[in-house]
Structures are given as structure tokens and as C-alpha cells.
Amino acid sequence: MTRNNLPAYVYADRGYLRFIRRARGQSVMMKEEPGSPEFWDHYNRLLKGREPIPTKRTFKTLRLSYVESDSFTQLKPRTKQDYQKYMDHIMEIWGDLDPRKVEPHHVYKLHQANRDRWRQANYLVQVLVVLLNHARLIGFLNKEHGNAAKGIPLFKQPGEGWEPRPDDVRSEFEQLATPRARLVYELSIGLGQRIGDTLKIRWDHIKDGEYDFTQGKGDKPLTVPLTNRLIAFLANVRKEGLTIICGRDGRPADYRTVTQEMRKVKDAMTHPDARTYVTHGLRKNATIELYQAGCDDEMVKAVTGHSGAEMLKKYGGRVRQKELARRAQDARNRAEQNKGGT
């Protein structure tokens, strides 16, 4: 075997070979001669799992243990990918550090150092909470150490979150949108789902005017009737593949390609604020339309799949408060009228 003809996951690295399997967090130096019995023995052991986890207490060792645990392996692929990215960042800073030496003020400083990207800073802390929880489970931390990442105040999203698109922005987007961008837009408005779930919608998920699926976040099964507007729009969409939103050759469209296409449409718009409205904000548009139609919280959740009142407050905003207050006062007025009639 030559170094140019290496098996899967094996790469040349500074005169040696390294087994790298990122999905499992594996990166192991292989000093055996390529093709030798010792090499294949080592390689097969790495394929089956990993080398025995070292006993030294470091964040690197903690990560190796965590990615082999059920807590990690049962996560969804997208969540695993996100966790790996933030764990990479943590390893760069604290990889060789004993987790017992990390105190809340260290995590707080790390969080503050990333404040310009508030969402990423919050996610970094949340991943640290998970890692340090696992550290307690495997005996790296004792009860008196606690979890240094718990209780760190997270940054709040500016304003009320993703802004819904006002009518003038929606109107211009509808006029300029490419066919695929318009399709994403109509599905997002009509069903009120996250873009990740919207991209996965298949034609066979829709039967008798209803969309039957399981949300990617939270594994919540939902059956949502299509609006009349969405039914009429889809009637003119050609079926090119299994999914409604397709990429090249009828294959499912990927997230990055679609978001770039949506961004290009906004770049072509004349509205001065067009670029500030993101695709996820369309979920907020759908939520607001439901409240304006007279739906209560339970009815809205049945369509959007929101988990609780706090998320509904975030997505419904002032419209939700106004509609609920109007219905409450109408109920009072009816009660007063009934009193007067008795």
C-alpha cells in the first residue's frame, strides 16, 4: 500500500498517517507501516468505534466520551453537526484543560467575547452546559464543582425576533421572485413551518388537501390542512421530484442554495428594508395571520407546531396580545349585556 492509496478516513499527516472520522470526533495518529498487519489491526479497531478513551481529565477526553454517549448519538444529524462545530471551538480554547478548573467567570468571559454574534455566543454556552453535564455523569466533575456554564445570562434577541414582512415588502417580493423562491415563500406562508421542514415537504406528504408530517425540531407529528391560496398555487407547480422544492435534476434542494436564491431576490428589490427580512420571518407572518383570523393559542399551535405560550408571544407579538385582549373584552361586553337582560 502506498500513501496515495489509503483506506477510508486515513490521511497523510506530517510523515505519519491519521485516522479522521469527524462525525464521531475521532482523530488518531497511526504510526504503523501502511498495509502491515499492525496497521490493519489498528484500522479495524478504529472503524468499530475508537481507541479506549484516555483517562486524563481534559475537555478533549470529555468530548470523546460525549460523542459516544446515547445523548449525542440520538441527536438529529443537523444538531450533531452544530454541536461538533461548537465543540471544535471549545477544544481550540480549552482542549487540554481539566474541566474542573473552569469556573463561571471563565464561561462568562467566553460568552462576552462573542457578543457580536449573540446567537452563536448563546449556543456556545448551551453546548458547554451539555458537555459539563456529561462530565458529571462520567465522574469528571463532583457535585461540589457544579456546572460552570449553568446560570450564565444569555443574550436576548434584539427586538421581538424575526420581523414579519409588511404588505409592501411581500408584494414586491412576489413580483420579483424566481419560481423556486416564490414556491418557498408560498409554502412558508401557507403552512407556517421552519425552512428546514419546508424544504423536506414531499408531494406524497399531501393527501386530500392536508399536509401530514413530523417536525424536525422536537419530532412533533402534525397534520395541517392547506389554505385555499396554497392549494391554488400548488396546482400550477410542476412535479419534478419527490420533494416539492427541487434542486438540480429533481433532487431535493439544499438549504444553502435556497437561502442564497432568496437573498438574491431581496437584493434586487427597491424597498430600503428588504434585506432585513429573513425567510424564517415568514413563519411569524403565518402566526400573525392566524391570530388576525380569530384563532386562539391552541389553534395557532395546531398549525405552526409552536411548543408553548412563550414562543407564541414571540411570534405573535403585539398582534397576539391585541387579538386576545379584543376577544376578552368582547366576552366581558356580552356578560354585561346578559346581566342587563335578566
**Predicted confidence (pLDDT) per residue in 96-131, tens digit:** 999 999 999 999 999 999 888 888 999 999 999 999
Question: Binning pLDDT at 50, 70 and 90, where does residue 50 land?
Answer: low
Residue 339 domain flag: no
pLDDT confidence tier of residue 30, bands split at 50, 70 and 90: confident
Predicted pLDDT at 142? 83
Same domain, 100 and 182: no
Q: What is the pLDDT of residue 54?
A: 57
Question: Range of 12's domain?
Answer: 1-52
Same domain, residue pair 194 and 307: yes
Q: What is the pLDDT of residue 342?
A: 55
Mean pLDDT score, 225-248: 94
Do 175 and 324 belong together in one domain? Answer: yes
pLDDT(147) > 80: yes
Q: What is the mean pLDDT of the chain?
A: 87
Q: How far apart are CA 147 and CA 266, in angstroms?
A: 44
pLDDT score at 55: 60
Contact criterion met (CB below 8 Å) for 149 and 129: yes
Selected residue with higher pLDDT from 139 and 341: 139
Judged against a pLDDT cut of 60, whether residue 309 lies above it is answered with yes
Q: What residue type is assigned to position 79 of the chain? A: T
Residue 341 lies in a domain: no
Buried b (16+ CB within 10 A) or exposed e, 259-297: beebeebbeebebeebeebbbebbbbbbbbbbbeeebeb
| Closest residue by Cα to residue 250 from 206, 207, 203 | 203
Q: Is residue 337 part of a domain?
A: no
Which of 156, 187, 208 is the endpoint of a domain?
156
Residue 74 sits in the same domain as residue 203: no
Q: Is the pLDDT of residue 264 over 90?
A: yes
